Amino acid sequence: MLVSPRRLMLSPQANLFLGTRQLPLQVAFLSWVSSHQSFDHPTDTWLPGGKLGHNKLTKEKLSLTPWRNPQNPAPGLFSFELEQNGTSFWLFWNGSKTYWTSGYWTGKIFSLVPETAANDYIASFTFASNENGSYFTYASAYNDTFIRFMLEITGQIKFYVWGKGFTQWTLIWMRPMEQCDAYATCGAFSICNQQNASLCGCLPGFEPKVPEVWKLKDHSNGCLRKTPLQCNDVRNSTFLVMHYILYPVNSESLIAENIEKCRLACLRNCLCTAFAYDNQCLIWKGDLLNVKLLPSEGRVGKDWHLRVAASDNEYQKIGSTVKIKRKTTWIIIGVLLGFTFILIVVMILVRRRQSAGALETVDDSLVLFKYRDLRRATRNFSEKLGEGAFGSVFKGVLPDSTAIAVKELKSLNQGEKQFRNEVRTIGSIQHINLVRLWGFCAEASKRILVYDYMPNGSLQSLLFQKNPIILDWKARYHIAIGTARGLAYLHEDCRERIIHCDIKPENILLDAEYNPKLGDFGLAKLIGRQNSRVLTTMRGTVGYLAPEWFSGEAITPKADVFSYGMLLIEIISGRRNRQGLDEGLENFFPIQVANIVTKGENVVTLLDDRLEGQADKDELTRACKVACWCIQDDEKDRPKMREVVQILQGVSDVGIPPIPQFLQRLNENPIEATNSRETICTSDSSA
Q: Which residues contact 369 (CB under 8 A, 6 or more apart)?
A: 359, 439, 440, 441, 448, 450
Which residue among the candidates 502, 520, 560, 633 is catalytic per the annotation?
Answer: 502
Task: Say if residue 486 is in the same domain as residue 435.
Answer: no
- The domain in which residue 553 lies consists of 459-680
In a domain, 445, yes or no: yes
DSSP letters, 218-286, are: --TT-EEESS---TT-GGGEEEEEEEEEEPPS--EEE--SSHHHHHHHHHT-TTEEEEEESSSEEEEES
In a domain, 234, yes or no: yes
- In order of 384, 398, 427, 506, 528, the CA distances from 498 in angstroms are 28, 30, 13, 19, 9
- Tell me which of 551-560, 569-578, 581-590 is least confident: 581-590
Task: Say if residue 525 is in the same domain as residue 418.
Answer: no
CATH code of residue 434: 3.30.200.20
Query: What's the structural domain count of the chain?
Result: 4
Residue-wise pLDDT for 636-652, tens only, equals 999 999 999 999 999 89
CATH code of residue 141: 2.90.10.10
Per-residue pLDDT at 253: 87
Task: Say if residue 58 is in the same domain as residue 121.
Answer: yes
Residue 140 pLDDT more than 90?
no
502 is catalytic: yes
Q: Which residues contact 358 (CB under 8 A, 6 or more apart)?
A: 300
Task: Say if residue 146 is in the same domain as residue 194.
Answer: no
In a domain, 346, yes or no: no
Q: Of 624, 619, 578, which Cα lies nearest the Cα of 600? A: 624
Cβ-count burial 99-125 (b if 16+ within 10 Å, e if not) = bbbbbbbbebbbbbbbebeebeebbeb
Q: Of 601, 614, 489, 501, which Cα lies nearest the Cα of 548? A: 501
- In order of 81, 173, 174, the CA distances from 178 in angstroms are 20, 12, 9
In a domain, 246, yes or no: yes
Cα–Cα dist 112/175, whole Å: 10
Per-residue pLDDT at 366: 84
Per-residue pLDDT at 17: 37
Task: Say if residue 68 is in the same domain as residue 171.
Answer: yes
Cα–Cα dist 639/138, whole Å: 29
Task: Say if residue 365 is in the same domain as residue 399.
Answer: yes
Averaged pLDDT, 336-354? 56
Answer with the residue of higher pLDDT: 310 or 1: 310
Give the residue from 317, 346, 378 where a domain finishes. 317
Residue 361 pLDDT more than 60?
no
Q: How big, in percent rounded to 5, are the helix, strand and coil portions of the chain?
A: 35, 25, 40
Contacts from 185-188 at CB under 8 Å and sequence distance 24+?
185/154, 185/155, 185/219, 186/219, 186/222, 186/291, 187/219, 187/220, 187/221, 187/222, 187/223, 187/289, 188/222, 188/223, 188/287, 188/288, 188/289
Cα–Cα dist 175/10, whole Å: 19
Q: Of 566, 570, 557, which Cα lies nearest the Cα of 641? A: 557
Cα–Cα dist 235/238, whole Å: 7
Q: How confident is the model at residue 168 (pLDDT cuts 50, 70, 90)?
A: confident
Task: Say if residue 531 is in the same domain as residue 673.
Answer: yes
Residue 226 pLDDT more than 70?
yes
Task: Say if residue 296 is in the same domain as residue 237.
Answer: yes
**What number of other Cβ atoms are within 10 A of residue 471's Cβ?**
21
Task: Say if residue 625 is in the same domain as residue 500.
Answer: yes
Cα–Cα dist 223/34, whole Å: 42
Q: Of 415, 226, 370, which Cα lies nearest the Cα of 308? A: 226
- Tell me which of 357-361, 421-425, 474-478 is least confident: 357-361
Answer with the residue of higher pLDDT: 667 or 682: 667
- Tell me which of 142-146, 149-153, 290-294, 432-436 is least confident: 142-146
Q: How confident is the model at residue 326 (pLDDT cuts 50, 70, 90)?
A: very low
Which of the 8 DSSP states describes residue 491? I
Q: Of 629, 636, 617, which Cα lies nearest the Cα of 655? A: 629
| Strand bridging mode 302-309 / 237-246 | antiparallel
Per-residue pLDDT at 589: 87
Residue-wise pLDDT for 518-563, tens only, equals 987 645 543 433 444 443 444 556 678 888 876 667 889 999 999 9
In a domain, 345, yes or no: no
Per-residue pLDDT at 312: 66
Answer with the residue of higher pLDDT: 344 or 215: 215
Is 0.85 topped by the overall pTM?
A: no
- Contact between 596 and 604 under an 8 Å Cβ cutoff? The reply is no
Q: Of 436, 427, 428, 443, which Cα lies nearest the Cα of 405? A: 436
Per-residue pLDDT at 250: 84
In a domain, 344, yes or no: no
Cα–Cα dist 607/570, whole Å: 10
Give the residue from 181, 201, 221 where a domain finishes. 181
Task: Say if residue 157 is in the same domain as residue 249.
Answer: no
Per-residue pLDDT at 613: 94
Q: What angle do CA 155, 160, 161 make, to 5 degrees?
A: 175
Cα–Cα dist 521/423, whole Å: 9
Angle formed by the axes of helices 589-599 and 558-573, to 10°? 90
Task: Say if residue 172 is in the same domain as residue 248.
Answer: no
In a domain, 601, yes or no: yes
- Contact between 64 and 79 under an 8 Å Cβ cutoff? The reply is yes
Q: What angle do CA 683, 681, 630 make, to 5 degrees?
A: 115
* Known binding positions for ATP: 407
Residue 279 pLDDT more than 90?
no
In a domain, 687, yes or no: no
Residue-wise pLDDT for 47-77, tens only, equals 999 999 999 888 899 999 999 888 888 899 9
How much is the CA Rg of the chain, to the nearest whole Å?
Answer: 29
Residue 478 pLDDT more than 80?
yes
Mean pLDDT of the chain: 79
Cα–Cα dist 422/417, whole Å: 9
Of the chain, the percentage scoring pLDDT greater than 70 comes to 75
Per-residue pLDDT at 411: 60
CATH code of residue 649: 1.10.510.10
Per-residue pLDDT at 124: 85
- Contact between 161 and 172 under an 8 Å Cβ cutoff? The reply is yes
Task: Say if residue 470 is in the same domain as residue 515.
Answer: yes
Give the residue from 181, 211, 238 where a domain finishes. 181
| Strand bridging mode 206-208 / 223-225 | antiparallel
Of the chain, the percentage scoring pLDDT greater than 90 comes to 41
Q: Of 278, 281, 441, which Cα lies nearest the Cα of 356? A: 441
Taken as a whole, the chain contains a residue count of 687
